Amino acid sequence: MLRQVRADFDGDTIRVYQAYPAAIADAALAAGRFVAPFSFTRMTWIKPSLRWLVHRSNWARKPGQERVLAVRVTRAGWEQALSRAVLTAPEPAIHGSAAAWSAVFEQADVHVQWDPERTLRGAALNQYSIQVGIGRALIRTYAEEWVVGLTDLTSTVHRMAALVRAGRHADAQRLLPPERPYPLPSPIARRIQADT
């Protein structure tokens, strides 16, 4: 299966997505950045695939995931995170043994997990989408330096869900952002086992 980072990005930034309860989303949108009650003491997961996020959050209906935010992050920050990432499962070509992987995984600042990408109907595709877990050591850097913009996409996600329920999949598809392959530097691609 293809492991490829696909995203909405420009020359300086990449757009990732997160789903939150209303209290966190409202405070962040009001401040223009993540503030309490956003947790600076636990890992936060970011995803550049909106299709994957709407599947994971059940179209912003799962408890605690009722609000979907688009988070604009610097490409420098994104690539810094990936350059410090460890996969959530051992990869012999990188780690050698499971014990060696376990030792580095426990100390990692960033975790990377690959999950099957989804269609808007929820079916698994023959490609993988990346999730990136930013750990405690980098969470303030992420929130205060890498994040350059926040947008509430909840109403768009609900509109897409209604179109899918009505069988209007092409109309729902048109509401998705333009996600295309992200050009990863070779050492990062190898580290996270991404196909280039």
**Residue range 14-26, pLDDT digits in tens:** 999 999 999 999 9
| pTM summary value | 0.94
The answer to whether 119 touches 144, Cβ cutoff 8 Å, is no
If one counts every other C-beta atom within 10 angstroms of the C-beta of residue 41, the result is 6
**Domain, as residue range, for 179:** 2-192
Q: Which residue has the higher pLDDT, 19 or 100?
A: 19
Sequence-distant (6+) residues with CB within 8 A of 103 are: none
What digits encode the pLDDT tens for the residues 59-86? 999 999 999 999 999 999 999 999 999 9
Q: How many domains does the chain have?
A: 1
What digits encode the pLDDT tens for the residues 132-148? 999 999 999 999 999 99
Question: Does position 171 have pLDDT exceeding 80, yes or no?
Answer: yes
Please state, rounded to an integer, the average pLDDT across all residues of the chain. Answer: 95
Question: Does position 196 have pLDDT exceeding 80, yes or no?
Answer: no
pLDDT at residue 100 in the model:
87
% of residues, the chain, pLDDT over 70: 100
Sequence-distant (6+) residues with CB within 8 A of 131 are: 45, 46, 47, 52, 112, 113, 114, 115
Sign of CA dihedral 25, 78, 142, 43: positive
pLDDT at residue 94 in the model:
83
